[in-house]
């Protein structure tokens, strides 16, 4: 659990699902465990999780983990203070590669959005949309309509605690009209009315995706980083 009590989002779960755990030992003691990416979503040889035994020096054990696994980098969420301090202690080069957002409930996006369950007529469009979804395992899918016309799809998935992650995909013919923010704001309102807290994530750190989330009433929680050994 990190900043805002935020649990792991779907992208983090995907990255870690195929990771290989390597015990880091000091003599006959296990002092840490490093998880190495499989190479499909991140370059092979990237650590995607690092757990240190209580009382150990995180920087020292991260150095041991990089040596033992041959990894040159570690991917982590900025709110993971132990990993962040360990990376900074080793003078690794930090590069933000993604971002997590939480709803702050002051959306600027306006416009009435109506949500409904997908119908058989939506099947072809949904196939394309789900390819763009950020790795949700079992999303709740709703078609979004504006002025009685389907303009996109919103997906949400329950995470740990009272959190739900959401995303919106606007159909190609309706892009460029600001509908993405309206869909996200409407979806977040519905989730919050049911007692859920709402989060979302993007790849990269800016651009249209970030603008859309901020217009929908989300604020930055923290970045995802890769920390890399200097050449």
Q: Are 228 and 93 in contact (CB under 8 A)?
A: yes
Among residues 62, 72, 75, 57, the alpha carbon closest in space to that of 13 is found at 75
Q: Hey, which residues does 103 pair with through a beta bridge?
A: 218
Instruction: Find the Cα–Cα–Cα–Cα dihedral 18, 44, 210, 141, rounded to 10°.
Output: -30
Query: What phi, psi does 105 have (nearest 5°)?
Result: 65, 40
CATH architecture of structural domain 102-221:
3-Layer(aba) Sandwich (3.40)
Alpha helices, DSSP H only, in the chain? 10-17, 58-69, 81-89, 123-132, 179-193, 207-215
Q: Using CA atoms, how far apart are residues 201 and 185, in angstroms rounded to an integer?
A: 15
**Identical fold between 3-98 and 102-221:** yes
pLDDT confidence of residue 129:
77
Pick the CATH number of 3-98 from 1.10.150, 3.40.630, 3.40.50, 3.30.420: 3.40.630
pLDDT in tens, 196-230: 999 999 999 989 999 999 999 999 999 999 999 88
Please write the tens of the pLDDT for every residue from 18-69. 899 999 999 999 999 999 998 777 887 899 999 999 999 999 999 999 999 9
Helix (H, G, I), strand (E, B) or coil at 28: coil
Edge-to-edge order in the sheet of strand 46-52: 20-26, 29-36, 46-52, 73-77, 218-228, 93-103, 197-203, 163-170, 149-158, 140-146, 114-116
Residues for the chain: how many in total?
231
SS3 (DSSP) at 41: coil
Q: What is the pLDDT of residue 1?
A: 36
Q: Which residue did the predictor score with more confidence, 1 or 28?
A: 28
Signed CA dihedral, 127, 128, 129, 134: sign only: positive
* Segment 180-207 mean pLDDT: 93
200 strand-pairing partners? 101
Domain ranges of the chain: 3-98, 102-221
pLDDT number for residue 134 = 63
Q: Taking the model in full, what pTM does it have?
A: 0.89
Q: Are 226 and 97 in contact (CB under 8 A)?
A: yes
């Amino acid at each position: 659990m990190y900043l805002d009590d935020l649990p792991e989002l779907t992208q983090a779960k995907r990255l870690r699902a195929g990771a290989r755990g390597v015990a880091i030992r000091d003599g006959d003691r296990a002092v840490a465990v490093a998880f190495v990416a499989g190479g499909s979503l991140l370059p092979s040889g990237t650590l995607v999780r690092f757990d240190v035994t209580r009382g150990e020096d995180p920087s020292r054990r991260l150095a041991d983990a990089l040596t033992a696994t041959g990894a040159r980098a570690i991917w982590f969420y900025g709110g993971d203070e132990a990993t962040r301090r360990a990376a900074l202690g080793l003078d690794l080069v930090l590069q933000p590669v993604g971002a997590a957002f939480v709803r702050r409930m002051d959306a600027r996006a306006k416009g009435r959005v109506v949500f409904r369950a997908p119908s058989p007529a939506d099947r072809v469009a949904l196939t394309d949309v789900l390819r763009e979804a950020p790795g949700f395992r079992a999303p709740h899918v709703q078609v979004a309509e504006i002025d009685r016309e389907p303009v996109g799809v919103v997906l949400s998935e329950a995470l740990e605690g009272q959190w739900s992650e959401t995303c919106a995909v606007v159909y190609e013919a309706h892009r460029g009209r600001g509908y993405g923010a309206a869909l996200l704001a409407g979806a977040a309102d519905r989730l919050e009315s049911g007692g859920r807290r709402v989060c979302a994530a993007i790849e990269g750190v800016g651009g249209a995706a970030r603008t859309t989330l901020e217009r929908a009433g989300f604020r930055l929680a923290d970045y995802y980083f890769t920390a890399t050994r200097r050449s």
